[in-house]
Amino acid sequence: MSGGDPVSLVVENIGELTTHGPLGTVLDAALVVVDGRVAWVGPTSQAPAADRRIDARGLAVIPGFVDSHAHLVFAGDRSAEFAARMAGQPYTAGGIQTTVAATRAASDSTPPQPASPGWSPRRAATAPPRSRSRAATG
């Protein structure tokens, strides 16, 4: 927006807000947007006043850059790469090429392997990265 006073909006009663920042995941959260930019994040009980209000009714809010998609079947494991990214380490992994190569090397009779036992995005984000010395079999 141009000219005039800034316009503010508070989205409150967010059941779970994912920040990917120092706050991590905030439950019963709110966020304030001023002139199209997030200006404040925190508990709904501490939300500042705003020109407009939206009640999220307990729904989840995630950052807009999240590319939520799925692949039916592929080989390989990129959980160490994910953990390194979430720990803020520079990107040095093979990315999609890692799983493409493992998928091409697998045979039709090779059953798909799940991510490492006990793996979860939350655990991966806080765990130290593992060695990338795993080899695809098939």
Give pTM, 2 decimals: 0.47
Q: Domains of the chain, with CATH numbers?
A: 8-61 (2.30.40.10), 79-126 (no CATH)
Enter the DSSP assignment of 80: H
Residue 134 has pLDDT above 70, yes or no: no
pLDDT tens, residue by residue, 77-90:
787 788 888 888 87
Which bin fits 101, alpha (ψ -120 to 50), beta or left (φ > 0)?
Answer: alpha
Enter the DSSP assignment of 106: S
At residue 120, the pLDDT reads 52
| 8 A C-beta contact, residue 40 and residue 53 | no
